[in-house]
Amino acid sequence: MDPAVPLPGTQDLLFDGARRLRRCETALCEVFEKAGYAEVIPPVIESADVFGTEAFRALDRSGRLLALRSDFTAQVARIAATRLSGVSPLRLYYRGSVVRRDRESVLERLQAGCELVGEPGADADAEVLALAAASLQALGLKQARISLGSTGYFEALARAAAVSERLARALHDAVDRKDLPTLRSLCEREVPPGQARDALLMLAQPPRPRAQAAELLARAESLAPGEEARAALRRLAEVLSRTRVAELEVDLGEVRGLGYYTGLVFNLYAPGAPRPVGGGGRYDTLLGRFGDPRPAVGFSLDLDALVPLAC
Amino acid sequence: MLTIALPKGRLQTPALERFVAAGVVPDEEPGASRKLIIPAGRDARYVILKDQDVPLYVERGAADLGVCGLDQVLESNADLMVPIDFGFGKCRLCLAAPRESSVTAELGRSLRVASKYPRLTAQWFARRGVPVDLITLSGSVELAAVSGLTDAIVDLVESGRTLAENGLAVVGEILEVSARLVVNRAAYRLKVEELLPLLEKLG
**Pick from A103, A147, A179: CB nearest B189:** A147
Would you tell me which residues 172-191 of chain B have a C-beta closer than 8 angstroms to some C-beta of chain A?
183-190
Asked whether the beta carbons of A293 and A260 are under 8 A apart, the reply is no
Would you tell me which residues 56-115 of chain B have a C-beta closer than 8 angstroms to some C-beta of chain A?
59-61, 77, 79-85
Other Cβ atoms closer than 10 A to A185: 13
Q: Residue A153's Cα: distance from chain center in Å? A: 15
Least Cα separation, residue B76 to chain A (angstroms):
12
Domain with CATH 3.40.190.10 in chain B: 2-89+178-202, 91-176
Give the fold, CATH level 3, of B2-89+178-202: D-Maltodextrin-Binding Protein; domain 2 (3.40.190)
**Pick from B84, B185, B196: CB nearest A275:** B185
C-alpha B114/C-alpha B137 separation (Å) is 7
Other Cβ atoms closer than 10 A to B120: 18
Chain A residues within an 8 Å CB radius of B199: 206
Whether pLDDT at B109 is above 90: no
Residues 6+ apart with CB under 8 A from A305: A270, A273, A275, A277
Whether pLDDT at A5 is above 60: yes
Alpha helices (H) in chain B, listed in sequence order: 12-21, 54-59, 70-76, 118-127, 141-147, 161-165, 185-190, 192-202
Asked whether the beta carbons of B158 and B118 are under 8 A apart, the reply is no
Chain A residues within an 8 Å CB radius of B183: 178
Contact between B192 and A181 using a beta-carbon 8 Å cutoff: no
Helix (H, G, I), strand (E, B) or coil at B157: strand
- Residue A49 phi/psi, 5-degree rounding, is -60, -25
Number of Cβ pairs < 8 A linking chain A and chain B: 53
Whether pLDDT at B106 is above 60: no
Give the DSSP H/E element, type plus range, for residue A296. strand A296-302
Contact between A145 and B189 using a beta-carbon 8 Å cutoff: yes
Residue B87: closest C-alpha in chain A = A181
Tens digits of residue pLDDT in A71-118: 999 999 999 999 999 899 999 999 999 999 987 789 999 999 999 999
Mutation pick from B119, B190, B202 vs chain A, by most beta carbons of A within 10 Å, is: B190
Contact between B61 and A274 using a beta-carbon 8 Å cutoff: yes
Whether pLDDT at B105 is above 70: no
Which ipTM did the prediction report? 0.93
Instruction: Categorize the per-residue pLDDT at B32 as very low, low, confident or very high, splitting at 50, 70 and 90.
Output: confident
Percent of chain A residues past pLDDT 90, beyond the cut: 90
Domains and CATH numbers, chain A: 1-144+270-311 (3.30.930.10), 151-251 (no CATH)
CATH 3.30.70.1150 fits B91-176, yes or no: no
Least Cα separation, residue A179 to chain B (angstroms):
5
Mutation pick from B77, B185, B199, B201 vs chain A, by most beta carbons of A within 10 Å, is: B185
Chain B residues within an 8 Å CB radius of A180: 83-84
Mean pLDDT of B145-161: 94
Instruction: Categorize the per-residue pLDDT at A252 as very low, low, confident or very high, splitting at 50, 70 and 90.
Output: very high
Asked whether the beta carbons of A37 and A90 are under 8 A apart, the reply is no
Q: Which amino acid, residue A137?
A: Q
